[in-house]
Amino acid sequence: MRPLPLLVALTLTSLSCSDDGPRPDTGPHGGDVEEGDWRDTGPFAGCAVDTAATACGSLGAFDTTGCTPGGLATLELEGVYTVHVRGRNPRYGNNYGFASQALRLDASGEQYAGGLALDTRQVAAGGNVFLSSSRTEPSTGGTRRRSYLGCQSPEPDRLQGCYVECVDGALEVEGTFEARKVTPRPGEGEASGLERISETAVPDGLPVDVYVTHGHAYVVALGGGLYVYDLADPARPVLTEHVLRTNDNSWNGVWAHRDALYVASAARGVIVFDLADPGHPVEVFATGRQRTNVHTVFVDGHLLFAASPSPTGEVLVYDLSDPFAPQLTGTFQASGFDVSTSYGPHDMFAFEGRLYVNFWRAGYVIASLERPDAPRQLGSYRYEHSTSHASAVGRFGERVIAFEGGEDWGAHLRVLDVTDPTSVRRIGEHRLREHLSLHNMVLVGTRLYVAWYHEGVRVLDVSTPETPREVAYYNTFRPGDPGRGSSFYDGAIGMRVPGDGFIYVVDTSRGLLVLREP
Cα 305–chain centre separation: 19
The β-bridge relationship of strands 206-213 and 354-358 is: unpaired
The CA–CA distances, whole Å, from 391 to 355, 404, 479, 494 equal 11, 4, 28, 13
pLDDT digits (tens, 9 = 90+) for 307-361: 998 877 999 999 999 999 999 999 999 998 888 777 889 999 999 999 999 999 8
Q: Which residues of 308-344 are buried (b: 16+ CB within 10 A; e: fewer)?
A: bbbeebbbbbbbbeebeebebbbbbbbeebebebbbb
Predicted confidence at residue 291, as pLDDT, reads 59
The CA–CA distances, whole Å, from 34 to 38, 271, 492 equal 11, 38, 28
Which numeric CATH code is attached to 38-181? 2.40.128
Predicted confidence at residue 289, as pLDDT, reads 65
> What whole-number distance in Å separates Cα of residue 357 and Cα of residue 380?
9
Nearest to 516 by CA among 186, 189, 199: 199
Q: Is residue 61 classed as helix, strand or coil in its secondary structure?
A: helix
Predicted confidence at residue 137, as pLDDT, reads 85
Rg (CA), the chain: 22
Predicted confidence at residue 340, as pLDDT, reads 74
What is the length of the chain? Answer: 518
Residue 381 has a CB neighbour count (10 Å cut-off) of 26
Residue 188 has a CB neighbour count (10 Å cut-off) of 12
Predicted confidence at residue 310, as pLDDT, reads 80
Which stretches of the chain score pLDDT less than 50? 1-20, 23-31
Predicted confidence at residue 193, as pLDDT, reads 98
pLDDT digits (tens, 9 = 90+) for 163-209: 999 999 999 999 999 999 999 999 999 999 999 999 999 999 999 99
Sheet with 390-396: strands ordered across: 390-396, 399-405, 413-417, 425-430
pTM for the predicted model, two decimal places:
0.93
Predicted confidence at residue 33, as pLDDT, reads 59
> What whole-number distance in Å separates Cα of residue 104 and Cα of residue 123?
17
Cα 233–chain centre separation: 30
Predicted confidence at residue 337, as pLDDT, reads 87
Report domain extents, the chain. 38-181, 193-516
Confirm or reject CATH 2.130.10.10 for domain 193-516, answering yes or no.
yes
> What whole-number distance in Å separates Cα of residue 43 and Cα of residue 113?
20
